[in-house]
């Protein structure tokens, strides 16, 4: 509607209303004029007060829209960069120093404290404490184990199952450390056998009763029929050349390395059937990503080539750095690498990128040969291991915690 002044509005009202009133003489007309003027001044004062003192929305007059109010911009997102923090592993009542640390995912891990500092140390009394964390190493709950005559090794199967092995035999728990059970080296319990088994309980077994192995077989903890791969799985003198792996997708993999030639086979139906893959000259290790979807072959000797499984064939990729010491599959097309002379990095699509935030933390002192090894947990958590120091973290966030 077009704008009108207040005087125009009252003039129009008088013109329309005049015929409806009868004249009452001059005096009456003058009184009416004076009354109208008073009412007009009162009305104008009221409207002025409304316009001045009313809410902002009352300033909008017919025929005009209110000016848009610009939205408040969101606060900027701050992304944390790579970082390394320190954390001490401490469990109430723990005896000895921290000797072993193993994580099954970012939150669940196990630690072994031992008064003997070497697995091959022979003594009459190694005191040990097994501890467990469920919050990424912030807190630990421990219990003392029976003493041993030598240093111990720690193996873990999941967040509730851990195996401690020494020259005396095995001490195991399958309830998060609430109880422990011992078994001799000559007759390991089913829980103890999980130290070298896959997630589903598959392991390499020597069926010869006298201990001499003409060839390994794949067995499963608890027994049952297990289909054997179409490969010669090696002899007792050649155990290091046989690899048995299980991916997060449940597929079982076997690789045999012989005469600088690697041959692998895979089963997707719990060993009921196997697919043999082409042999690869010059490869010596099989790598599986945590989710099982990526499969690699690598050569740890120069020129350190890489092969990726595409369909049912191996495709050669660009090689790893010349100083590669250890390598593991991290998922997302990535291989995580440690260096012979220190440091660590990530290989992806033939390109290697250093992790500068770990350069000093994984340094190798001149004259010492203690480069870091690396493990990848089921959820992709990376653990670098160097002496009695463990660095835990993620390639996605590049945030790391050094535990000691």
| Cβ-based neighbour number of residue 291 at 10 Å | 15
Each domain of the chain, given as residue ranges in start order, spans 88-195, 197-290, 320-404
Please tell me the pTM assigned to this model.
0.77
Which tens digits make up the pLDDT trace of 140-151?
Answer: 999 999 999 999
* pLDDT the model gives residue 100: 96
What pLDDT is stored for residue 35 in this prediction?
53
Go through 355-369 and write b for each residue having 16 or more CB atoms within 10 A of its CB, e for each that does not. Answer: bebbeebbebeeeee
3-state SS of the chain? CCCCCHHHHHHHHHHHHHHHCCCCCHHHHHHHHHHHHHHHHHHHHHHHHHHHHCCHHHHCCCCCCCCCCCCCCCCCCCCCCCEEEEECCCCCCCCCEEEEEEECCCCCEEEEEECCCCCCCEEEEEEEEEEEECCCCCCCEEEEEEEEEECCEEEEEECCEEEEEECCEEEEECCCCCCCEEECCCCCCCCHHHHHCCCCCEEEECCCCCCCCCCCEEEECCCCCCCCCCCCCCCHHHHHHEEEEECCCCCEEEEEECCCEEEEEEECCCCCCCEECCCEECCCEEEECCCCCCEEEECCCCCCCEEEEECCEEEEECCCCCCEEEEEEEECCEEEEEECCECEEEEECCEEEECHHHCCCCECCCCCCCCCEEEECCCCCEEEEECCEEEEECCCCCEEEEEC
Q: What pLDDT, on a 0 to 100 scale, did the predictor assign at position 240?
A: 60
Q: pLDDT digit string (tens) for 339-392? A: 999 999 999 999 999 999 999 999 998 766 789 999 999 999 999 999 889 999
pLDDT tens string 25-55: 434 444 444 555 554 444 434 433 333 344 4
> What is the distance between the alpha carbons of residues 110 and 136, in angstroms, rounded to a whole number?
10
Residue 241 pLDDT level (bands cut at 50, 70, 90): confident
Which residue's structure tokens are 């192995």?
Answer: 213
- Give pLDDT, residue 177: 95
Mean pLDDT of the region 278-290: 96
């Amino acid at each position: 509607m077009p704008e009108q002044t207040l005087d125009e509005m009252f003039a129009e009202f008088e013109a329309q209303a005049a015929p409806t009133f009868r004249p009452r003489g001059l005096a009456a007309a003058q009184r009416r004029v004076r009354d109208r003027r008073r009412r007009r001044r009162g009305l104008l004062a009221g409207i002025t007060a409304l316009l001045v003192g009313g809410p902002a929305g009352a300033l909008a007059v017919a025929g005009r829209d209110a000016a848009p109010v610009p939205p408040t911009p969101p606060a900027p997102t701050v992304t944390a960069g790579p970082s390394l923090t320190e954390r001490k592993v401490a469990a109430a009542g723990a005896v000895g120093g921290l000797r072993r640390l193993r994580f099954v995912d970012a939150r669940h891990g196990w630690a072994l404290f031992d008064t003997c500092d070497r697995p091959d140390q022979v003594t009459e009394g190694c005191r040990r404490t097994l501890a467990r964390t469920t919050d990424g190493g912030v807190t630990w709950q421990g219990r003392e184990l029976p003493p041993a005559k030598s240093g111990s090794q720690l193996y873990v199967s999941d967040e509730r199952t851990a195996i401690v092995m020494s020259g005396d035999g095995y001490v195991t728990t399958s309830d998060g450390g609430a109880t422990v059970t011992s078994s001799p080296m000559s007759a390991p319990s089913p829980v103890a056998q999980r130290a070298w088994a896959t997630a589903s309980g598959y392991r390499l077994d020597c069926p010869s009763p006298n201990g001499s192995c003409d060839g390994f077989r794949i067995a499963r903890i608890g027994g049952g029929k297990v289909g054997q791969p179409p490969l010669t799985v090696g002899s007792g003198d050649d155990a290091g050349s046989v690899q048995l792996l299980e991916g997060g997708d449940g597929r079982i993999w076997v690789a045999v390395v012989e005469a600088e030639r690697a041959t692998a086979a895979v089963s997707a139906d719990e060993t009921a059937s196997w697919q043999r893959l082409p042999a690869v000259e010059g490869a010596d290790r099989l790598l599986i990503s945590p989710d099982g979807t990526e499969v690699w072959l690598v050569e740890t000797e120069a020129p350190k080539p890489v092969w990726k499984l595409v369909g049912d064939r191996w495709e050669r990729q660009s090689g790893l750095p010349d100083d590669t010491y250890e390598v593991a599959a991290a998922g997302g097309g990535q291989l995580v690498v440690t260096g012979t002379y220190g440091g660590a990095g990530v290989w992806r699509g033939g390109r290697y990128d250093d992790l500068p935030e770990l350069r000093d933390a994984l340094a190798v002192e001149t004259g010492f040969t203690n480069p870091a090894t690396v493990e990848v947990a089921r959820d992709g958590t990376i653990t670098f291991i160097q002496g009695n120091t463990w660095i835990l973290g993620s390639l996605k966030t590049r945030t790391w915690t050094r535990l000691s």
